[in-house]
Amino acid sequence: MTFNGTVTRLVIRGGTLLDQAGERVGDVAIEDGRIAAIDDSIGDVQGDTVLDARGCKVSPGFVDLHVHLREPGKEEAETIETGSRAAALGGFTAIVAMPNTDPAHDAVSVIEFVRAQGSKAALCEVLPSGCITVGRAGTQLAPFAELAAAGVHLFTDDGNGVQDPQLMRSALDYAGPLGIVLAQHCEVSALTKGAVMHEGACCSRLGLPGWPAIAEELMLMRDIELVRLTGVSMHFLHLSTARSVQMVRAAKAEGLPITAEATPHHFTLTDEQLSGYDPVFKVTPPLRTRADIDAIKAGLADGTIDAIATDHAPHAPHTKEVPLDEAPPGMLGLETALALSISELDMPLAEIVAALSWKPAAIAGVADRHGRPIAVGEPANLTVFDPSHAWTVVPAQLASKSRNTPYAGRQVHGKVRHTILNGVAVVVNATATR
């Protein structure tokens, strides 16, 4: 409502709508947080805010299943506000906040704090994940039911895999009736002691300890069998190897209730990037080989991998200005995910948007309000992007508090122009409004 009592409309004009139903041209009018009208051409009413969408797709907002916001605990790297701004600029209307903060997401008070900070920033919906084990220490189950009652849907010890098979089995059994989803960071830690990069020809030449593919694949294999045993569904985070894709494909063909995600860096960069010893390319799981990239792309194309997730992992510059083995793993992702997906994936645009929007929305348990079809009455969480807009990644221009993008100087195409969160334009012309 404006001061004189008239309703302010937001009109997205001149774009092509792209959702589960396919593509069609149309203008969208938004009032009171919901889509009020869709028409070939919606005329101006005084007081309307008009967003130019010519040359753009108008799609349901993107949902990122995997974001490290660093608050509480490492606010020098990112805050919930700066991470939310990066998310909005990347077209995300909802992001799942990973639990490896300090303190970790294993208590209702932390969950409420993270959600409150997200609401205060009001740039995207921040969905706190919960820990699988207390303190992510891998020894005692976190209070699933209490955290679920506080609104947590996705549980993970991300950063750590749950090593103990008995504990993981028990976690699945206990989680079953709660309707939550357990998400695994697949890494058998005994196989990755001191590991810095993918184990293969490159690490052998560089004299760096390798992170073998088998460390991911063994835990994935174990967990697929635990899903079979318990019947409880699981999600697999940031899969990085060809064999992992193959295992998920086979398990899905058997009808097992699993989902999986892959990151843009795992379908764009190889271990050869580490040849200059630059810690900006250090990430967990590590950058792998061309064959793995091809497999991840094929997995996304045939739906084996459900979602593109960023694993956005900000680190303060000084923490990356040390030797590789001392540097923390992780790279920025929120503001480059769409462009890299459009630039690098040989998939129809609608399927890329599916992997960025409604498929992860379902996994995150927010399909009632994100990733919705574009229809009258639906919540207005929308992303307007120009798929052909060419731009160059410049670290200093990113909204994240950190600068650790591995794509500095890379030419890409595909850019978010506007992002609408609950009917409010939080990004207009590629600039955050708050």
Partner 1 sequence: MKHLLAIDDLTADDIHRLLELTDHMVEISGRPIPKVPALRGKNVVSLFFEDSTRTRTSFDTAAKRLSADTMNFTVSSSSVSKGESLRDTIETIAAMGVDAFVVRHRSSGAPQMITRWTNASIINAGDGWHQHPTQALLDCYTIRMGLNRRDGFDGLHVAIVGDIRHSRVARSNVQAFAALGARVTLVAPPTLLPPSLEGWPVEVSHDLDSLLPDLDVLYLLRVQRERMDDALLPSLHEYSLLYGLTDARAARLPPHALVMHPGPMNRGVEMVADPGELPGSVILNQVTNGVAVRMAVLFWLLGSGGDLSEAP
- Return residues touching partner 1 (CB under 8 A): 193, 199-201, 203-210, 212, 276-278, 318-319, 321-326
Amino acid of residue 202? C
Looking at the Cβ atoms of 21 and 322, the one nearer to partner 1 is 322
Counts for the chain of helices (H) and strands (E), in that order: 11, 21
> What is the three-class DSSP state of 373?
coil
Amino acid of residue 19? D
- Beta strands 27-31; 10-13: pairing state: antiparallel
Rounded Cα distance between 139 and 14, Å, is 55
Looking at the Cβ atoms of 89 and 202, the one nearer to partner 1 is 202
- What separation in angstroms does the CA of 47 have from each of 5, 7, 8, 35, 420? 11, 8, 6, 17, 18
Sign of the torsion formed by the C-alpha atoms of 340, 346, 347 and 349: positive
Rounded Cα distance between 320 and 300, Å, is 31
Looking at the Cβ atoms of 22 and 194, the one nearer to partner 1 is 194
> What is the three-class DSSP state of 100?
coil
Tokens, residue 163: 């090593």
- Return the DSSP state at 257: -
- Give me the residue label for tokens 């196989």: 191
Query: Is there a contact between 58 and 420 (Cβ–Cβ < 8 Å)?
Result: no
> Residue 275 half-sphere exposure, CB side, CA atoms within 13 Å?
6
Looking at the Cβ atoms of 128 and 200, the one nearer to partner 1 is 200
3-state helix, strand, coil in the chain (%, to 5): 35, 25, 45
- The yes-or-no answer on residue 311 being catalytic is yes
**In angstroms, how far is CA 271 from the centroid of its own chain?**
22
- Return the DSSP state at 8: P
- Say how many Å lie between the first and final Cα of the chain, rounded: 19
- Give me the residue label for tokens 């939080």: 426
Looking at the Cβ atoms of 44 and 326, the one nearer to partner 1 is 326
**425 phi and psi angles, rounded to 5 deg:** -80, 100
What is the greatest pairwise CA distance in the chain? 71
Looking at the Cβ atoms of 304 and 319, the one nearer to partner 1 is 319
Catalytic residue among 64, 106, 306, 311: 311
Amino acid of residue 32? D
How far apart are CB 363 and partner 1 at their closest, in Å?
34
> What is the three-class DSSP state of 307?
strand
> Which residues make Cβ contacts (< 8 Å) with residue 40, sequence separation at least 6?
25, 26, 27
How far apart are CB 44 and partner 1 at their closest, in Å?
55
Rounded Cα distance between 427 and 407, Å, is 22
Looking at the Cβ atoms of 322 and 375, the one nearer to partner 1 is 322
Looking at the Cβ atoms of 193 and 409, the one nearer to partner 1 is 193
How far apart are CB 277 and partner 1 at their closest, in Å?
3
Looking at the Cβ atoms of 33 and 317, the one nearer to partner 1 is 317
How far apart are CB 313 and partner 1 at their closest, in Å?
18
Catalytic residue numbers?
A: 311
